[in-house]
Structure 1
Amino acid sequence: MQDNVKVAVIQDSSVPFDAEKTALKACRLIEEAAQGEAELVVFPEAFLGTYPKGLTFGAPVGTRLPEGREDFRRYFEGAVEIDGPELRSIEESAREHGVFIVMGIIERDGSTLYCSVVFIDPQAGIVGKRRKLMPTGSERLIWGFGDGSTLDAVDSSLAKVGAVICWENYMPALRQTMYGQGVEIYCAPTADDRDTWLSSMQHIALEGRCYVLSACQYLTRGDFGDDYNCVLGDSPEHVLMRGGSVILGPLGEIIAGPVFNERTILHATLARDTLIRSKLDFDPVGHYARPDVLSVMVDREEKKAVYY
C-alpha cells in the first residue's frame, strides 16, 4: 500500500433498468469524487444493472407467473456485459480522472445474470472481476452462483484491493480467503441497510486488520417507474434502501459514516502506517493463525457445465 490513499464511497441510486443512464450517472459521480481528490472509489452492490428491491418475479412456491417472466426479461435487458459499452464509458471516466473504481454490477453472461464486482484501473481498464458466490434468499432465482476462479484480490498501485459482496461477508472462510491474499482495502458493496451491518463491518476490520469500505445505495420507490411490481409499498417517497455506507480503520474505528437516508459521497485518507501498527497483536493469517489445527482450502478452478 502506498503511504496514503484517498478514497471515496458512493451512496446513491441506479437509474433502474437503464444501464446506459446509470453509467452516465456513475461517470458524474466519479468526477465529483475525483474533485474531492479521491484516488479509489467504491460503488454499491448492483449499482450498474439494478438491485430489484421488493420485486418477486412472480415466483410463488410451485409456479411461475407470466408477469414475473416479463419482469425478468426487463431485468435481463438492463444488465451489462463485461465488454459492453456501459463499462467502457466507466473505464474512460476512470482514465480521465485517474481513479481506481470498484463497482457492483449485474453481469449478463449468456442467459444467466451474476451479481458481480469489477475492478477498473485508470491505466489498464478492467483488471479483475468477482462474482458473488452465494446469492441470498430469493436472489438465487435471478442470479447465478460464482465460483473460486473470481476470488482473487487485485494488486493496484494504491493497495491490495478485494471485494466481498453483501451477505458473503457472513461467510468466515471467504473472509479468510481475502485475508490470506493480504488484502489492505476490503470493499463490501451491499444492499443491507440494517443497523446491525455496522457491527459486522467493524468486526471484519478488526478481524482482517484492514481498511473496510462499505457502500450501500440510497434508493426510493420513486426511483422506479409506476409499472414496478414492488411488494414493499407504492408511495414514491417510500425508502427501499436507506444507505448506511461507512469507512472503517483496521482497529475497527469509524473514519466516515455511517450515513442514512440521503445521497452522499464519503471521503477518507487511509494510511499505510496504521495498517502496520494494527498487526502488532493480531494477524489472522500470520502470527495469530494456527494452520496446524485450522486451515481453509480454496478451489480456484472455473466451473463449467460443459467441458470440451
Structure 2
Amino acid sequence: MYKVAVVQAASVPFDADAATRRAEELIAEVAASGAELAVFPEAFIGGYPKGTSFGTAIGVRTEGGRREYERYVRGAVALDGPEVARLVQASSDHGVHLVMSVIELLGRTLYCTAVMIAPGEGVVGKHRKLMPTATERLVWGFGDGSTLDTMETPGGRVGTVICWENYMPLLRQAMYAKGVQIYCAPTADDRPSWQSTMQHIAIEGRTFVLSSCQVVTRDAFPDDHPVEHELPGGDILMRGGSVIIDPSGAVLAGPVFDEEAILYAELDPSAKTRSHLDFDAVGHYARPDVFTLSVNEAAATSVRFTS
C-alpha cells in the first residue's frame, strides 16, 4: 500500500516566501502522518487572484491594474529560485514526493506550473498549464508539449493535469498513454460538478485521481487587493472540494468543503491492474485503425539564434 495526501489549505497570495513556509509546515505534517506523496492546490505559491480583472476590459487597461499585475509578478517564483530549492530540501528532509503548483516567472511571462519533486533528486518534472481558462489568459502564458512530464514514485507513475485542462479529452488521452497511475489534478474549481469530472477521469483512465483545491477567504489577500466581481461564496473565494478516487470510481477520501483539511488514502497499486480487465483507453479498448492522436512534445520557442 502507498499512502498519499491531498492538501486543502489556503495560500498566502503574492508572498512567495510566506507561502513556501506554509508549504514546508504542511509537508512536515504530511510526513508525520506517513504519507509519501503530497498534492497541493493550483497556484498555491503565488496565489490565484479570483475575481480580479487587473483593470482590463476590451480596449482598456488601467495603471492600477498594471500595479496589481506588478505585485502578482513579485509573488511568483523561478524554478531555479530559492523557494523551489526550499521545497526540494523539504521533500528530501521528510521523504515526500511533491506535486506543487506555483505561479512561475519565466522571462517576462507568468505560467501556472505544477512542479514535481522527488526526495533526493529534486525537480524531476514540470507541467505548465497548456490552456489557461478565460481571463487567466490575461496574466498567464500558454505551456507547450515539452512539459507533459511524469514522475516515478514507489506507488506508481504520477502525472499532473491542471484545473480545466481536465476537460481536454486529448490531453487526458496523452496522460493515459504515458502510463500515469496516479493522476493529480490541482484546481481552482470548487463547484460540486467538479466531483463528477474527477470520478469520470478515474473510471476512464482506470487511474487513481488526487484533486486538490484551496479553501481561501477574502482576508487572505492584502487589504488593498481588488476583488472586482461579486462571487457566489461572498467572502469565501474558494471552498475546496478536494477528493481522492480509485480506478473503479470509488471515493477514498473527501470531498471536503469550507474548511482546511489534509485528505489521506492508502492506494493499492494493483487495483489499477485489476481495473484494466475490461477497459484500457489506450490499449485493448482503443481503435487505432479509426482514431489516432499525435502529440507534439517539442519546446515551442519564439526566438531561435543560430550561428
Q: TM bucket by the smaller chain?
A: over 0.9
Secondary structure of 1:146's match?
Answer: coil
Match of 2:261 in 1: 264
Deviation at 1:13, TM superposition (A): 1.0
The separation in 1 between residues aligned to 2:81 and 2:269, in whole angstroms, is 35
Structure 1 unaligned regions, length at least 5:
none
Q: Does 1:132 align with 2:129?
A: yes
Match of 2:212 in 1: 215
The separation in 1 between residues aligned to 2:254 and 2:63, in whole angstroms, is 42
Q: Does 1:205 align with 2:202?
A: yes
Name the TM-score, length of structure 1 as normaliser: 0.97
Q: Does 1:101 align with 2:98?
A: yes
Q: Does 1:151 align with 2:148?
A: yes
> Which residue type is aligned with residue 48 of structure 1?
I
The separation in 1 between residues aligned to 2:280 and 2:301, in whole angstroms, is 35
Deviation at 1:5, TM superposition (A): 1.1
CA contact (8 A) 2:156 2:269 kept: no
> Which residue type is aligned with residue 240 of structure 2?
G
> Which residue type is aligned with residue 256 of structure 1?
A
CA contact (8 A) 1:222 1:237 kept: no
Q: Does 1:78 align with 2:75?
A: yes
Match of 2:161 in 1: 164
The separation in 2 between residues aligned to 1:260 and 1:231, in whole angstroms, is 24
Aligned positions of 1:1-308 closer than 5 A: 4-232=1-229, 238-308=235-305
Q: Residues 76-112 of structure 1, C-alpha deviation per residue, up to 9 Å, x if partnerless?
A: 0000000111111111111111000001110000100
Q: Residues 249-276 of structure 1, C-alpha deviation per residue, up to 9 Å, x if partnerless?
A: 0011100000000000000000012111
Secondary structure of 2:115's match?
Answer: strand
The separation in 1 between residues aligned to 2:206 and 2:98, in whole angstroms, is 22
> Which residue type is aligned with residue 52 of structure 1?
P
The separation in 1 between residues aligned to 2:68 and 2:21, in whole angstroms, is 24
Secondary structure of 1:214's match?
Answer: strand
Secondary structure of 1:280's match?
Answer: coil
Q: Residues 143-170 of structure 1, C-alpha deviation per residue, up to 9 Å, x if partnerless?
A: 0000000012222333100000000000
Secondary structure of 1:243's match?
Answer: strand
Structure 2 unaligned regions, length at least 5:
none
> Which residue type is aligned with residue 186 of structure 1?
Y
> Which residue type is aligned with residue 249 of structure 2?
G
Deviation at 1:215, TM superposition (A): 0.2
Q: Residues 186-207 of structure 1, C-alpha deviation per residue, up to 9 Å, x if partnerless?
A: 0000000000000000000000
Count of residues in Structure 1 that have an aligned counterpart in Structure 2:
304
Secondary structure of 2:171's match?
Answer: helix
CA contact (8 A) 1:221 1:233 kept: no
> Which residue type is aligned with residue 299 of structure 1?
N
The separation in 1 between residues aligned to 2:154 and 2:253, in whole angstroms, is 23
Secondary structure of 2:60's match?
Answer: coil
CA contact (8 A) 2:155 2:269 kept: no
CA contact (8 A) 2:214 2:238 kept: yes
Deviation at 1:237, TM superposition (A): 7.7
Could you tell me the percent identity over the aligned residues?
A: 55
CA contact (8 A) 1:185 1:212 kept: yes
CA contact (8 A) 2:184 2:211 kept: yes
Deviation at 1:233, TM superposition (A): 5.3
Deviation at 1:123, TM superposition (A): 1.0
Q: Which consecutive segments of 4 or more residues in structure 1 shift more than 4 A?
A: none
> Which residue type is aligned with residue 227 of structure 2?
C
- RMSD between aligned residues: 1.2
The separation in 2 between residues aligned to 1:155 and 1:268, in whole angstroms, is 19
